[in-house]
A and B are shown apart, each in its own frame.
Chain A
Amino acid sequence: GAGVSQSPSNKVTEKGKDVELRCDPISGHTALYWYRQSLGQGLEFLIYFQGNSAPDKSGLPSDRFSAERTGGSVSTLTIQRTQQEDSAVYLCASSPEGNYGYTFGSGTRLTVV
């Protein structure tokens, strides 16, 4: 596709359930990022993938959060045992290696009730 695609666009889940959020980066982009944005807050870095290198997981808030990137393309962010404080918009971005032109997706709005 022409841009970064995220699905679902909206997700409502019950506290304690697991959720999976998907990101399809722009074809050929080797770097992929996950961020989250709580209501009225700035962007919070979660995790970053670059090619075959080990991902930078330094932003993951707890061990309930994990992410993988299969085949250097699609990425899935998994949140286990969701809590109400996990409610936020989860944004994915990709970029060509060594390029500044990061492109963000439209995000997944997660609501934990």
Chain B
Amino acid sequence: DAKTTQPPSMDCAEGRAANLPCNHSTISGNEYVYWYRQIHSQGPQYIIHGLKNNESNEMASLIITEDRKSSTLILPHATLRDTAVYYCRSGGTSYGKLTFGQGTILTVHP
């Protein structure tokens, strides 16, 4: 897995978009970018993943730069329940051990 770098913490107002950055400058051509989040006392939850194109699902959107060295997870209308640690990681789609960095603590406030 390529090394990823994320800011340790971010704040966001409820109802606003939360934009969470991730740097993965050493990502290789066949590695995907994955995002997970961990709400206090729960196991990590898969959010979204992508290779080159921007992706979107019911939870979030993922914007990957053209050079694939960084990406941004967007929660379009953050709620208090989105307060969590967000992990970005990169890797292949085949099986293998997952490695996670320290993540970003997102705090959504009223």
- Which residues of A are interface residues toward B (Cβ below 8 A)? 4, 30-31, 33, 35, 42-43, 45, 48, 50, 56, 58-59, 89, 91, 93, 95, 97-107
- Contact of A98 with B93 in the complex, beta carbons under 8 Å: yes
- Tell me the complex Cα distance, A51–B97, Å: 14
Contacts of B94 in A (CB 8 A): 98
Closest chain A residue to B101, Cβ basis: A42
- Contact of B93 with A99 in the complex, beta carbons under 8 Å: yes
Asked if B99 is at the interface (CB within 8 A of a chain A CB), the reply is yes
Looking at A33, A43, A89, A106, the one whose CB has the most chain B CB atoms below 10 A away is: A43
Q: Tally chain B residues at the interface, Cβ within 8 Å.
A: 21
- Contact of B45 with A48 in the complex, beta carbons under 8 Å: no
- Contact of A42 with B100 in the complex, beta carbons under 8 Å: yes
- Contact of B97 with A4 in the complex, beta carbons under 8 Å: no
Q: Number of A-B pairs whose CB atoms are under 8 Å?
A: 55
- Tell me the complex Cα distance, A31–B88, Å: 21
How distant is A31 from chain B, measured CB to nearest CB, in Å? 5
- Contact of A100 with B43 in the complex, beta carbons under 8 Å: no
In B40-60, the 8 Å CB interface with A consists of 41-46, 49
Chain B contact surface mostly: loop
- Tell me the complex Cα distance, A103–B46, Å: 7
Closest chain A residue to B34, Cβ basis: A100
- Contact of B95 with A104 in the complex, beta carbons under 8 Å: no
Contacts of A33 in B (CB 8 A): 97-98
Contacts of A91 in B (CB 8 A): 43-44
How distant is B32 from chain A, measured CB to nearest CB, in Å? 7
27 inter-chain pairs at a CB distance below 8 angstroms, sorted by A residue, are A35-B98, A42-B87, A42-B100, A43-B87, A43-B98, A45-B99, A48-B96, A48-B97, A58-B97, A59-B97, A91-B44, A93-B43, A93-B44, A93-B98, A98-B93, A99-B93, A100-B32, A100-B34, A100-B46, A100-B93, A101-B46, A102-B98, A104-B44, A104-B45, A105-B43, A106-B42, A106-B43
How distant is A92 from chain B, measured CB to nearest CB, in Å? 8
Closest chain A residue to B44, Cβ basis: A104
